[in-house]
Amino acid sequence: MAMVKIGKTYYNDQPKDVYLICGNAVRDGETFDAKGKDLGKVTVAAQEHEDGNTLFVRLCGWRGKAKDVAAVRKMDCVLAVGALSKQEYNEKMYYDLDVDFIAISGVKRGGAAQEFSDPPVSTRSKSSATASSHSEVAAMDKTERKKLFSLLRQFYPNAKQLNPVTMTAWAAVLEHYDYTPVKAAVLDYAAHNKYFPDLSDLLAPLHNAQPVEEPAVHPGKAWMKPYIEKYMKEGKK
């Protein structure tokens, strides 16, 4: 699950935060008639808090996006981008995302499921060779990332950057690095700087701690990249 703020948009001259959300649908998507306009809705588990509670976000697809949102099925892994709004009801917060972009893992446009097969032997051999050349580099797991954030919190207890959104974004990058050299970089940085670091401040000095080949570590996440890159390119036009 991931929920990261990636920008800002305006509606009726009012600013609205734009979020990227990746999570599993908790039920099938549905289509509604909203005063003559097509509306698709589906709820996804978007973020897990440290206390174990889950934040749910309702994805809303209007007009052309209604069918895409309604096509989501329970337990589908969904990637969505759009403006996030929230409202309180009976002392509980509810979150809605007006979908600008949506993709379902393993599903092509038109609903045809992609068939994923093992890469050719030559490709696997090349990947294995790459992994072997970085055999000393191990991907950072969730427990190690929590240790890293805890260490940063000890040095910078009042840092506003230590919030769920920023930590989720950092985790997406840190999971491809070895814990030990990154921890050493944190200790070295803290010894010389009184201000909280940017992620690049910690990773730039790691000449030998190169990112692990993502397909070899997280093959299930590779499908997200082209969709994110496409959305970011469209947003710059």
Q: For 2-6, 19-23, 45-49, 133-137, which range has the lowest pLDDT when averaged over its residues?
A: 133-137
With beta carbons less than 8 A apart as the criterion, state whether 149 and 162 touch.
Answer: yes
Indicate whether 8 pLDDT > 60. yes
Indicate whether 126 pLDDT > 50. no
Please compute the mean of the pLDDT values over residues 13-34 and round it to a whole number: 91
Spell out the domains of the chain, with CATH numbers in brackets. 2-114+221-235 (2.40.50.140), 135-212 (no CATH)
Please compute the mean of the pLDDT values over residues 5-10 and round it to a whole number: 88
pLDDT of residue 216: 43
With beta carbons less than 8 A apart as the criterion, state whether 51 and 64 touch.
Answer: no
Cα 158 from Cα 162, distance rounded (Å): 8
CA-to-CA dists, residue 106 to 114, 116, 133, 186, angstroms: 5, 8, 31, 38
Q: Percent helix, strand, coil in the chain (nearest 5)? A: 35, 30, 30
With beta carbons less than 8 A apart as the criterion, state whether 30 and 41 touch.
Answer: yes
User: Read out DSSP for 186-226?
Assistant: HHHHHHH-SSPPPHHHHHTT-SS-PPPPHHHH-GGGTTHHH
Q: For 41-45, 144-148, 204-208, which range has the lowest pLDDT when averaged over its residues?
A: 204-208
Indicate whether 143 pLDDT > 70. yes
Please compute the mean of the pLDDT values over residues 179-187 and round it to a whole number: 88
